[in-house]
């Protein structure tokens, strides 16, 4: 005998650009949205009965319709509106989750002033959120950043690690330290100015990265997480991943030249991967 243990389904990679127009200037947001539903869908899996299934194409249309009527000023608030809309119309849904990643657009600067309606695409950095609520429950909000590529050219070394028969890496007190930061944090309260909190978390982590005298990626990751939690008491915990973006010194000795840690070749693969979750002590 067999039984369906759990399931969920939804619509992924729904692309949305929203322009909010005002006399003072326009705001531009580019979001990629994922909707996932859990609920009473056993009959669809076991019997082929689709009577409780909300078509994923309908979910796509819902993303656009709710965006049109939304007054949210953050993607977290918009995700909450979308979750509530879906739960309110579908009693068979036990919980809804909305995940959003936001691309970076920046205003053009003309004559030293931000242009009111023209923008340029920034880096590949994404701002993210994941919002979930069960019927009759409270919201869980997890926000973060992804693909935030950062690098420091000083105050970074890696020494004192295990030396054994397969070790070829040379110890150094002066190396380039590059990474593509992914961070997700969980809020302990709701009703926040999520945009302001995200900015504070991001700026705090970047300031720590820049100023830290790094003995390892692990040490710097923990210092960044610790400073972010100290700066924002509304965040309960943070999970961070910092894969290495290696820059390998080039051996120029065969050309009769030295290399005082100035000429490198960047490589992505293979790379080290460091991850940790940091929580507040009770």
User: Residue 244: what pLDDT?
Assistant: 93
Query: Does the annotation mark 56 as catalytic?
Result: yes
Query: Does the annotation mark 155 as catalytic?
Result: no
Print burial letters for 148-166: b (CB count within 10 Å at least 16), e (below 16): bebebeeebebeeeeeeee
- Residue ranges making up the domain that contains 50: 9-138
Please tell me the distance from the alpha carbon of residue 80 to that of residue 174, in angstroms, as a whole number: 46
Select which of 60, 212, 245, 246 is catalytic. 246
What's the domain count of the chain? 2
pLDDT band, residue 69 (cuts 50/70/90): very high
- 282 pLDDT higher than 80: no
Model confidence over 103-121: pLDDT tens digits? 999 999 999 998 999 999 9
User: Residue 198: what pLDDT?
Assistant: 96
Please give the span between the terminal C-alpha atoms of the chain, in angstroms, as a whole number: 45
Residue 160 sits in the same domain as residue 112: no
Q: How much is the average pLDDT of 154-167?
A: 96
pTM of the model: 0.91
Residue 95 sits in the same domain as residue 157: no
Query: Does the annotation mark 220 as catalytic?
Result: no
Please tell me the distance from the alpha carbon of residue 152 to that of residue 212, in angstroms, as a whole number: 10
Residue 256 within a domain: yes
Select which of 11, 182, 212, 245 is catalytic. 11
Select which of 18, 32, 56, 73 is catalytic. 56
Please tell me the distance from the alpha carbon of residue 35 to that of residue 240, in angstroms, as a whole number: 24
Q: How much is the average pLDDT of 35-61?
A: 96
- Residue with the two structure tokens 């053009």: 108
SS3 of residue 53 by DSSP: coil
């Amino acid at each position: 005998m067999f039984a369906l243990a759990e399931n969920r389904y939804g619509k992924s990679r729904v692309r949305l650009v929203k322009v909010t127009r005002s006399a003072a200037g326009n705001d531009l947001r580019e979001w990629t949205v994922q909707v996932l539903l859990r609920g009473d869908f056993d009959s669809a899996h076991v019997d082929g009965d689709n009577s409780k299934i909300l078509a994923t194409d309908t979910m796509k249309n819902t993303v656009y319709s709710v965006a049109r009527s939304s007054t949210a000023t953050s993607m977290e608030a918009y995700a909450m509106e979308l979750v509530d809309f879906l739960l309110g119309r579908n009693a068979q849904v036990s919980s809804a989750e909305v995940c959003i990643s936001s691309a970076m657009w920046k205003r053009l600067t003309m004559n030293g002033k931000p242009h009111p309606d023209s923008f340029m695409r920034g880096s590949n950095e994404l701002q993210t959120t994941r919002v979930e609520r069960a019927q009759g429950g409270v919201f869980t909000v997890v926000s973060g950043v992804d693909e935030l590529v950062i690098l420091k050219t000083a105050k970074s070394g890696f020494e004192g690690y295990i030396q054994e028969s397969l070790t070829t890496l040379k110890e150094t007190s002066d190396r380039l330290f590059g990474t593509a930061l992914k961070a997700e944090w969980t809020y302990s309260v709701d009703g926040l100015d999520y945009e302001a909190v995200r900015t504070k978390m991001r700026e705090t982590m970047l300031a720590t990265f820049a100023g830290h005298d790094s003995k390892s990626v692990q040490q710097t990751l923990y210092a960044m997480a610790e400073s972010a939690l100290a700066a924002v008491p509304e965040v309960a915990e943070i999970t961070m991943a910092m894969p290495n973006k290696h820059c390998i010194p080039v051996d120029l000795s065969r050309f009769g030249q030295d290399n005082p840690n100035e000429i490198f070749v960047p490589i992505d693969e293979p790379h080290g991967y460091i991850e940790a979750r940091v929580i507040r002590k009770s």
